[in-house]
Structure 1
Amino acid sequence: MFKKLLAMTFITTLLLTAPKGTYAATENYQIDRTALDKGLIAVNYTPDTDTKTIVRISKGNDNYDYTLTNGAHYPLQRGNGTYSVLIAQLMSDNKYKVVSKESIELKLDNENAVFVQSIPLINWNSNTKAVVQMNKLTNAAMTDMEKTAAIYAYITKNIQYDYEKAQSVKAGYIPNLDAIYDSSKGICYDYAALFAAMARSQNIPTRLMMGYEASAPTTYHAWNQVFLNGQWVTIDTTYDAVRVQNGENTPMIKNAADYTITQVY
């Protein structure tokens, strides 16, 4: 559970679109399609100011906003089709001016490929501590289900819910996976990001979900979906960690109908 403070989602942001053909800074921003076969793009740019800049990736009515960082890979996670990639610079008071916009056509043979990648919200590599631990945990695991169960058991037994952090988390917070691993504490966003990184490192398609759970319908929450045996299943290590650490029995796979989804990563 956590406050709905994600700077990645500029729901109240006003984008001031420049007239067609007048994107003054377009030449400074180039879409890098090198990893498009993995469902990722990057934005290469030459910063001419310290102005805060965002990337908005849209498909249909779905909008995903990210703070622009050179070299970061942003996911096209809403399936094959046409995406709009918009770049905007902060003007004042959460008002942004569009400086570049282009369309990208995604045609993946496997649309789940994007869900095994490292992205800004789930930032991992082979040296990430939880990933190193994951390799130890799965030495004897043969199937994706066995690997997923090993991740689930590790997180629910070892990561404690951080109630103080849940009350103090600031806007723009993004989980630092090594810090979570070292402290063995976190909020729901941390649990879901840690789980996703560990599973993705084993090439198991895993989504980080945001929205609401039926038992706490007004509390913004994060959990996971994992692609197992040809279907997406729901796993919630946050609530289950509390139950497991209290000695309660609880199933790993949850009823998807108990969750209302607002964002998918």
Structure 2
Amino acid sequence: MNSKKILKKLVLLLFPFIVLLNSVKIQAKANVELDESHLAEGYVSTSLKETKKSVAYVIVISKDKESYNYPVVDGGKYPFTLGNGTYQIMIGEKVEGNKYSAILQKEIKVKIKDETTVYLQSNEAINWENEDSSILKKAKELTKNSKTNIDKAKAIHNYIIKNYSYDNKKADKVTKDYIPNLKSFYKTQKGICYDYVTLTAVMLRSVGVPTKIVKGFESSNPETFHAWNQVYNEATKQWVTIDTTYDATLQAAGKKIKFEKSAKNYTLEKAY
């Protein structure tokens, strides 16, 4: 589906490399405030005292040697995707290039009431509440007769694989800072894997289905970085692996499609 060169660019995008410098002294009055009032719901949020365009910040959320980082925005929500436990939170102010100086460091104990709620939220990973209203309306329309999470997932999965196609030209030109534009993808119905999985997650979360965007590798092409989704089956209390990008390709080729993929064929690197 994609060239090795382009996939390396996507790796840089999906796993941005930053250097967080240890400050000699953490600023007493940082310009970023951390709101911990939603820990039980699975996220922290930020507010900026000053919103100078020339100043950039990053938040790094770590647990058990795994880290996720996001650009800090005013009112941003950042999920705890590594389950319950103790997290280390660090916020850095950009110095130059990919170097950041720590302005806030904190340890937080998290106990989420229902860990699936993390994957329903609209946050900086999947900001579905701010997506184009026509996309949210379409998701509601597609699932109006669906009763279970899996029924809803199948309805949206079938719509996407039958109506969207992989854009090889776009893949050849994609840059490392690429961010899906779902309004454009929804209109043109052509895109790359990151478009597919983001649209799937946005649609499903908007109709109440806990959904992850997962990034890693698939066994049939182990050197190729890939992205897919997992949806929560409330009946079995298990996560089901689906792959709309792969299935859209099969659909176009007139080949048989199996909705649920074998999780053992996928190697997870990050989940959002």
* TM-score, reference length from structure 1: 0.92
Distance 2:89 2:29 in 1: 12
What displacement does 1:172 show?
A: 2.4
Gaps of 5+ in 1: none
Alpha carbons of 1:65 and 1:39: their partners in 2 closer, same or farther (altered >3 Å)?
A: same
Q: Does 1:47 align with 2:50?
A: yes
Which residue, 85, 89, 93 being the options, matches 2:93?
89
Could you say what secondary structure the match of 2:10 adopts? Answer: coil
CA-CA distance at 1:202 after TM superposition: 1.8
Identity of aligned residues (%): 37
Q: Which residue of 2 aligns with 1:210?
A: 215
- 1:131 and 1:6 map into 2 onto residues whose CA distance is 30
**How far does residue 148 in structure 1 lie from its aligned partner after superposition?**
0.9
The one-letter code matched in structure 2 to 1:257 is K
Q: Shift in Å at residue 7 of structure 1? A: 4.4
How far does residue 220 in structure 1 lie from its aligned partner after superposition? 1.1
Residue 233 of structure 1 is aligned with which of 228, 240, 246? 240
Give the Å deviation of 1:56: 0.6
Structure 2 counterpart of 1:106: 110
| Aligned alpha-carbon RMSD (Å) | 1.8
- Name 2:193's counterpart in structure 1: 188
Q: Give per-residue Cα distances to partners, 1:125-180, cap 9 Å, x unaligned.
A: 28532221011111111222211110110010111111112122222222222221
Contact 1:72 1:120 survives alignment (8 Å): yes
Q: Is the 8 A contact 2:26 2:102 kept in 1?
A: yes
Structure 2 partner of 1:9? 15
Find the aligned partners of 1:144 and 1:48 in 2 and give their Cα distance.
40
Please list the CA deviations of residues 195-254 of structure 1 after superposition, one character each: whole Å capped at 9, or x if unmatched.
111111121111100011112111111001111131011100001001112221110100
Residue 264 of structure 1 aligns to which amino acid in structure 2? Answer: A
**Matching of residues 50-199 of structure 1 within 5 Å:** 50-125=54-129, 128-199=133-204
Is contact 2:211-2:231 (8 Å) kept? Answer: yes
Q: How far off is 1:258 after superposition? A: 0.9
3-state secondary structure, aligned to 1:27: coil
Q: Indicate conservation of the 8 Å contact 1:191/1:238, yes or no.
A: yes
Q: Does 1:27 align with 2:33?
A: no
CA 1:261–1:106: 2 relative to 1, 3 Å: same
Structure-1 residue corresponding to 2:268: 261
Checking the alignment, whether the CA contact within 8 Å between 2:210 and 2:231 is kept in structure 1 is yes
In structure 1, C-alpha distance between the alignment counterparts of 2:229 and 2:213, rounded to whole Å:
5
Q: Is the 8 A contact 1:156 1:241 kept in 2?
A: yes
> Which runs of no fewer than 5 residues in structure 2 stay unpaired?
none
Runs of 4+ in 1 over 6 A off after TM superposition: none
C-alpha spacing 1:148/1:30, structure 2 compared with 1 (3 Å): same
Matched AA of 2:215:
M
Change over 3 Å in CA distance of 1:6–1:194 after alignment to 2 = farther
Distance 2:177 2:74 in 1: 17
Aligned mates of 2:97, 2:144 — CA distance in 1: 52
- Relative to structure 1, is the Cα distance of residues 113 and 48 closer, same or farther in structure 2, using a 3 angstrom cutoff? closer
Distance 1:105 1:201 in 2: 28
Q: What are the Cα deviations for residues 48-107 of structure 1, in whole angstroms up to 9, with x where unaligned?
A: 751222111111111111111111211111101111111112222322211111122211
Counterpart pick for 1:249 among 245, 249, 256: 256
Measured at CA, do residues 120 and 188 of structure 1 come closer, stay the same or move farther in structure 2, by a change above 3 Å?
same
